[in-house]
Structure 1
Amino acid sequence: MDTLLASAPSFPVPTPAPAFRDTVANWMRQFQDWLCQELEEADGLAQFQEDAWEHHGGGGGRSRILTNGNIIEKGGVNFSGVSGTMSDKAAQMLLMPDPRYFATGVSVVQHPRSPMVPISHMNVRYFEAGNGESWFGGGLDLTPIYVDEAQARWFHEQIACVCQRHNPTYYTRFKEWADEYFYITHRQETRGVGGIFFDRLTVGQDGDRDALFAFVREVGEVYGRAYTELMRCNAELPYTAREKKWQMVRRGRYAEFNLAIDRGTRFGLETGGRTESILMSLPPQCEWHYNLQPELGSPEAATQEWLRKGVDWLATSPTV
């Protein structure tokens, strides 16, 4: 894991459709297919099961869930392409300039069986508001149960390489944004080692639509290639009952973030999305223990020290 992955995008460019929104939605479907194939190959056992659904306002989606795999205990790769009119509350909460909307995207969460394999998340999305404004958003982050400094650095290097190809400011800006967004405020700790997060990259204001779309496509691809590499590198590492117990605790923190803070969860519920698909991000099992404090000097305490904002993962030797 000392080198960068493919230095240039290799995922196919989408075939243009009459409307740009259809071009984006078609690519999202294609990306879902590709990513599911990559994850199945890395897992080596289970396959995704699909649940197609329709949205009450228009459009629908394909929820794909993998369970009881060789590496992945529960994972989801969900596509949606929906339209409708938001409630006033939802439009206000999401700062929508017009309650009419079209939204398409792919949302991914993987919960591995082994505590040696990190939890991962990624999503890419495109919105159009009724007044004609449109924007892209997305992000990816890594939640190791035990932080491996070298692997965290490598993960950030892959992301930084993609960002650099599109805009020299992207990595620094979006990494800081991720530190702020993936933060469990009531715990005063980050969800994991972060990644990047960006929202409302507005067409025209933040770049032309094709350039922004190209960036979003590379974000999706680098996630697929980087995370499957981490799966392969860590899946066979041994672990103890103590490490499995810590995994249950860390999964609990992950669930807290997704239920209490995550805007995507709130958007889906507020706009009448399919509940099962929205909550696929939750782990199959997790635990909470009253006032749990890791033992001083333990591996668990060492990981806890990394869960903070502002770590420079691209530095030769980040400090705790």
Structure 2
Amino acid sequence: MAMEENKIRAANWFSALRDEIVAAFEKLEDTQGSGPFASQPAGRFELRETERDGGKGGGGLMSVMRGGRVFEKVGVNISSVHGQLGERAQMAMASRPGMAGMAEDPSFWASGISLVAHMQNPQTPAVHMNTRMFWTPHGWWFGGGADLNPCLEYTEDTASFHDALKARCDLHDAGYYPRFKEWADRYFYIPHRKRARGVGGIFYDDLNTGDWEADFAFTQDVGRAFLEAFLPVTEKRRNDGWSDADKEAQLVHRGLYAEYNLVYDRGTKFGLETGHDPDAVLMSLPPLAKWI
């Protein structure tokens, strides 16, 4: 019974975080008073409910803004899904701590929030964030993180973003930030390009210290850290001018981002293999991209 209550608490938190982020992003749209897109209407999120397995396996809410003053495309999705893992997903889960029994009982429940923002101004970096809770009869864990993806890199922006994430990590464990930063550096790496997809952040998975409350509190702080890390960088750069060459660099960098998400991203693979709404799973893809 306690774990069922914990699932509800986690799902409600992800939903509340979604509401906070959506409100902050729409406020950015309202306050954008200069630049080539300032004369058009402020962007607003369009909402659509999503389903897994025709609704029998739960679902979520897909929130996407397109063609705004600040955001060219941004999605903030939440979901709570459940059911039976297929054979490929079982094999992937079996390698995780305590998951050897997945073949006998492949039941699962998962809830989380996933965000990707692609910006109008190439001076303003794209960004990704997600946090999630996963449960099976064999164990539970939390995962998530955030990483910055500028096409035009500024050392001070990278430092500011990382400092905000580190401050939240340090509230829980002084070892979390260096550990999860290094994990992000490994995870958000594109082997076939021999480079990272951005300037990093933090990433963690399989977090189960044995203390659900502590791990949930940390995951909440990762969610809180996102706006603290991203909004100052956006405010600083969103009114900067850009050239045709800058826009070209942005489109090429988006191609890199798309390659990573389609070839390597765990969340993309899991969502498609477990039958979740493909539009919600592929929300992360940029509206326009270019390959040389």
TM-score after normalising by structure 1: 0.82
For the residues of structure 1 that align with 2:4 and 2:193, how far apart are their CA atoms? 48
Aligned to 1:84: 83
Q: CA deviation at 1:66?
A: 0.5
Output aligned runs, 1:33-48, within 5 Å.
Answer: 33-44=19-30, 45-48=42-45
Normalized per residue, the structure richer in helix is 2
For the residues of structure 2 that align with 1:194 and 1:174, how far apart are their CA atoms? 10
Q: CA deviation at 1:166?
A: 0.4
Sequence identity, in percent? Answer: 39
SS at match of 1:217: helix
Aligned to 1:177: 183
Aligned to 1:302: none
For the residues of structure 1 that align with 2:50 and 2:177, how far apart are their CA atoms? 35
Q: How big is the alpha-carbon RMSD for the aligned residues of Structure 1 and Structure 2?
A: 1.4
1:49 aligns with one of 27, 32, 46: 46
Q: CA deviation at 1:232?
A: 1.4
1:230 aligns with 2:214: no
For the residues of structure 1 that align with 2:231 and 2:156, how far apart are their CA atoms? 16
SS at match of 2:80: strand
1:158 aligns with one of 164, 188, 193: 164
Q: Runs in 1 of length 4+ with deviation above 6 angstroms?
A: none
Aligned to 1:58: 57
For the residues of structure 1 that align with 2:254 and 2:197, how far apart are their CA atoms? 10
2:243 aligns with one of 230, 234, 240: 240
1:102 aligns with 2:88: no
User: Deviation digits for residues 189-229 of structure 1, max 9, x if unmatched?
Assistant: 00111000000002xxx241111111111111111232122
For the residues of structure 2 that align with 1:239 and 1:84, how far apart are their CA atoms? 48
The code of the aligned residue for 1:255 comes to A
For the residues of structure 1 that align with 2:3 and 2:28, how far apart are their CA atoms? 32
1:141 aligns with one of 135, 144, 147: 147
Residues 161 and 218 of structure 1: CA distance in aligned 2, closer, same or farther (over 3 Å): same
1:283 aligns with 2:286: yes
* Contact 1:116/1:237 (<8 A) preserved: yes
Aligned to 1:197: 203
SS at match of 2:171: helix
Q: CA deviation at 1:162?
A: 0.7
For the residues of structure 1 that align with 2:290 and 2:10, how far apart are their CA atoms? 39
1:75 aligns with 2:74: yes
Aligned to 2:11: 25
The code of the aligned residue for 1:265 comes to T
Aligned to 1:296: none
* Contact 1:17/1:23 (<8 A) preserved: no
For the residues of structure 2 that align with 1:280 and 1:177, how far apart are their CA atoms? 24
Aligned to 2:39: none
Unaligned runs of 5+ in 1: 1-15, 290-320
For the residues of structure 2 that align with 1:214 and 1:74, how far apart are their CA atoms? 30
User: Deviation digits for residues 96-144 of structure 1, max 9, x if unmatched?
Assistant: 622210000000000001110001000000000123x010000100011
* Contact 1:152/1:193 (<8 A) preserved: yes
* Contact 1:265/1:278 (<8 A) preserved: yes
* Contact 2:187/2:203 (<8 A) preserved: yes
Aligned residues between the structures:
270
Q: CA deviation at 1:39?
A: 1.1
The code of the aligned residue for 2:47 comes to E
Residues 260 and 18 of structure 1: CA distance in aligned 2, closer, same or farther (over 3 Å): closer
Aligned to 1:7: none
